[in-house]
Structure 1
Amino acid sequence: MIYIKKYRYKPLYKKLLNLKKNVQNRKKLLNFKKQKWEKFNFYLKNQSKFSKRNKYYKIFDQYSYYNSKFSNYFSRKFKYNLQTKQRLSFFYGGLSEKYLRFIHKQSVQKNKRSHVNLNSKFFFIELLESRLDSVLLRSHFVLSIRNARQLISHGHVLVNGKVVKKKSLLLKKSDIITFSPKVYSLLILNIANSELWPIPPKYLEINYRTFSIILVDNIKYTNIASNFSFWLDLNTVLKYYEN
């Protein structure tokens, strides 16, 4: 008899519990009352004094300290590398390892073609932020990456006047993003419920009245730092995907 293992669906917010980071800034996590969420929510509410209203946001946390339950160096190193990789993946909506390796390969090739020899991490993040679903999230027309992908897959997002159903479409300067009139009421609701933090990056020109987004500049790494609500060791991520 062949035994087939059944995989039970595990919500993304449960995966964030192991990371000890609310990498997607989900307010839903603060409403959980079970005992297993007490320490996690206490940490989120007290990790930053940036705003009295939004205490669960933390811009830079590279000095945060926690005791690891692993005493062996190699165990600690493996756990650190794994969690760093998972934070990046969950921040962009759970991207697969195969896709991230592909993006890393493209970033290395783009770095070789550039006239200035930079770290490939600059191009790596630029490619991820150029994705259509990432741009929708930065504009605050959607509340999460999942909401953005739903709008795209249902054909409610137009790029330069054409319906696009590819969530990983890489945008470039002067591209115009608009929406179907059928979802205007949903967009208004999303904008009303959005915290508008982090603020939209400078390379986006957003009109909340006409529901349009224009990329007025090329996406650069220097304009992306404010998009992250946590510190990410990109050098560790790139070393992992080099193998």
Structure 2
Amino acid sequence: MDKIVEILKKIGASDDLANQVCEELQRFEKSVHDKYEARYQDKLEKAKQICLEETQKYKLELSRKVGIFLESKSSEIEKSIDQRKAIEDSEAMVTLRRVREVTEGIEVADDAEVQALKEQVKKLTTQTQALVEEKNRAEAAANRANAIAMDVIREHKAQAKQTVTEGRESTTEIATPSKDDDEAPKPKERKKNRQAIKEHIDRRARRRLKPRTTSRTLVEHQSLNLLEDDSSKEDASENITRIAEDMRDF
């Protein structure tokens, strides 16, 4: 505004004229500003109103869509609940029907009978446990007896093999004639040999198998019987060897 005053003074205008021009310009500026300000405020209010209306419409539309979605979901949920309830009701009815079929015609026991049945069940359970324990003890005893029997059998087989081998060796040594002796042994010598073999076998039988008769004593008695025959000592030795080999795997 000061520049306008200076320009007016340069062109020769008075101070009053310059001041009036400045005042008119200020009034015009103010009127124009008020005019545009009023238009701006009016348009701003209209824009606000339009925004509020659009926002309200959007909210209403959104709420309508949300309501439709929730209604559809709620209907589906209600339908599934109804189906599940129907299934449960049908299962419950089937169960009740089965229970009724089972219990139909059965008299309900009183408390005393129930207690008696409980006591009987408890007693039977105790008896079952006792029988199971007895069975376990019997199995353990049987296993121990089986192990002992197997040990005795193994020891018996070993002793039988040893006795047969020793009897065969001693019999062979006693019964085999000397190479230098070309003539057959005399009857007295045969009797003496048989007596020696019998004493040897009896000694071994008394020492090893006192309480019972086994395959070893069987071999020894067969050896004695063979030696008492009229055949020669060579045939007796062969027969003893054959019997020992037959009884080796006994």
Q: Give the TM-score band, short-chain normalised.
A: under 0.3
Higher helix share: 2
Normalized per residue, which structure has more strand?
1
Task: State the TM-score, normalizing by the size of structure 1.
Answer: 0.20
